[in-house]
Amino acid sequence: MERLETNRGVSLPCSRLQRKADYISCAHGPSGTARDARLTQPGPAGRFRFRRCIVLLGLAAGFWLGPLHAADPVQAVLQTSAGDIRLELYPDRAPASVENFVTYANEGFYDETIFHRVISSFMIQGGGFTADMQKKPTRPPIANESNNGLSNRRGTIAMARLPQPHSATSQFFINVQNNLNLDHKGGDQWGYAVFGKVTEGMDVVDDIRYVQTTTRRPFADVPVEAVIIEGVTILESTPDANDENQ
CB 214 within 8 A of CB 118: no
Buried b (16+ CB within 10 A) or exposed e, 157-169: bbbbbbeebebbb
Of 5 and 202, the structure prediction assigns the larger pLDDT to 202
First to last CA, the chain: 52
pLDDT > 90 fraction of the chain, expressed in percent and rounded:
66
pLDDT band at 193 (very low <50, low <70, confident <90, very high): very high
pLDDT band at 238 (very low <50, low <70, confident <90, very high): low
DSSP calls for 196-221: EEEEE-HHHHHHHHTS-EEEETTEEE
Measure Cα distances from 83 to 137, 187, 204, 218, 230 in Å. Answer: 26, 39, 6, 27, 10
CB 65 within 8 A of CB 176: no
- Looking from the CA of 70 toward its CB, the CA atoms found within 13 Å total 6
What are the pLDDT digits (tens) for 170-189? 999 999 999 999 999 999 99
As a whole number of angstroms, the distance between CA 188 and CA 119 comes to 27
What are the pLDDT digits (tens) for 104-163? 999 999 999 999 999 999 999 999 999 999 999 999 999 999 999 999 999 999 999 999
Give me the domains of the chain, ranges plus CATH numbers.
74-236 (2.40.100.10)
DSSP state of 70: H
DSSP calls for 27-67: ---PPP--S----PPP-HHHHHHHHHHHHHHHHHHHHHHHH
CB 130 within 8 A of CB 165: no
CB 198 within 8 A of CB 86: yes
**pLDDT for the residue numbered 237:** 66
CB 165 within 8 A of CB 153: no
What are the pLDDT digits (tens) for 201-228? 999 999 999 999 999 988 999 999 999 9
What are the pLDDT digits (tens) for 120-132? 999 999 999 999 9
pTM for the whole structure? 0.72
Measure Cα distances from 214 to 203, 206, 211, 243 in Å. Answer: 22, 18, 10, 51
Q: Supply the mean pLDDT for the chain.
A: 79
